[in-house]
């Protein structure tokens, strides 16, 4: 799922338990796995290569494609962070902190996948195994791109709308 969707959902999740920032961070992490379980569209990560020796038979190559992927993920994440802050409009530093922890918590599982691909050691192997297990096997790639991107935007708007209700 797009990082932007995870960021908005994470911020919303953290706001639900706004009295406890640490709990907020972990609830945001949990929201990531919950969202990934929904059949969804993902943009392809082209620096991923097939390697039968690893989980799901995939490993990452740190080359020019990786730089492209990294840039796209950065834009994706920035959209999520900007959207979250635009909706919440934190009135004070504390709310800004909760939102930030939620945004980071919502996206961090995907960053941990990158760490897994780079290091291939515990605890990242177990986290990766859990992530793969929660992730929907239905992937809306290829010819379903319009449906995929469309459904992703609808989902993001739905989450944004519910977040607006939580934040106000």
Can you tell me the distance from the alpha carbon of 99 to that of 121, in angstroms, rounded to the nearest whole number? 31
Near Zn ion by CB under 5 A: residue from 24, 81, 110, 152: 110
3-state secondary structure of 107: helix
Q: Nearest distance from residue 151's CB to Zn ion, in Å?
A: 16
Question: Residue 129 phi/psi, 5° resolution?
Answer: -60, -45
Options 34-42, 68-76, 87-95, 146-154: segment touching Zn ion (CB under 5 A): 34-42
Check if the beta carbon of residue 117 is closer than 8 Å to that of residue 59.
Answer: yes
């920032």: which residue's tokens? 21
Options 9-17, 22-30, 36-44, 78-86: segment touching Zn ion (CB under 5 A): 36-44
Does position 76 interact with Zn ion (CB under 5 A)? The reply is: no
Comparing CB distances to Zn ion, the nearer of 69 and 110 is: 110
Comparing CB distances to Zn ion, the nearer of 38 and 89 is: 38
Can you tell me the distance from the alpha carbon of 143 to that of 128, in angstroms, rounded to the nearest whole number? 28
- Binding-site size for Zn ion (CB under 5 A) equals 2
3-state secondary structure of 58: strand
Site string for Zn ion, 112-151 (x = CB under 5 A): ----------------------------------------
Strand partners, 49: 59
Q: What is the DSSP letter of 60?
A: E
Taken in order 55, 45, 98, 136, is the CA torsion positive or negative? negative
Does position 69 interact with Zn ion (CB under 5 A)? The reply is: no
Comparing CB distances to Zn ion, the nearer of 48 and 96 is: 48
Options 21-29, 106-114, 143-151, 154-162: segment touching Zn ion (CB under 5 A): 106-114
For binding to Zn ion (CB under 5 A), which residues are involved?
36, 110
């Amino acid at each position: 799922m797009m990082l932007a969707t995870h960021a908005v959902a994470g911020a919303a999740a953290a706001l639900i338990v706004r009295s406890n920032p640490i709990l907020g961070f972990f609830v945001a992490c949990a929201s990531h796995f919950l969202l990934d379980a929904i059949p969804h569209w993902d943009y392809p990560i082209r620096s991923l290569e097939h390697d039968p020796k690893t989980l799901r038979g995939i490993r990452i190559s740190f080359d020019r494609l990786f730089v492209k992927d990294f840039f796209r993920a950065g834009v994706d994440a920035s959209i999520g962070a900007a959207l979250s802050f635009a909706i919440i409009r934190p009135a004070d530093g504390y709310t800004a902190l909760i939102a930030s922890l939620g945004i980071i918590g919502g996206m961090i599982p995907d960053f941990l996948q990158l760490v897994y691909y780079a290091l291939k050691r515990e605890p990242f192997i177990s986290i990766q195994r859990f992530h793969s297990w929660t992730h929907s096997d239905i992937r809306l790639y290829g010819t379903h791109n319009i449906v995929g991107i469309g459904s992703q935007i609808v989902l993001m708007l739905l989450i944004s709308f519910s977040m607006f209700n939580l934040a106000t």
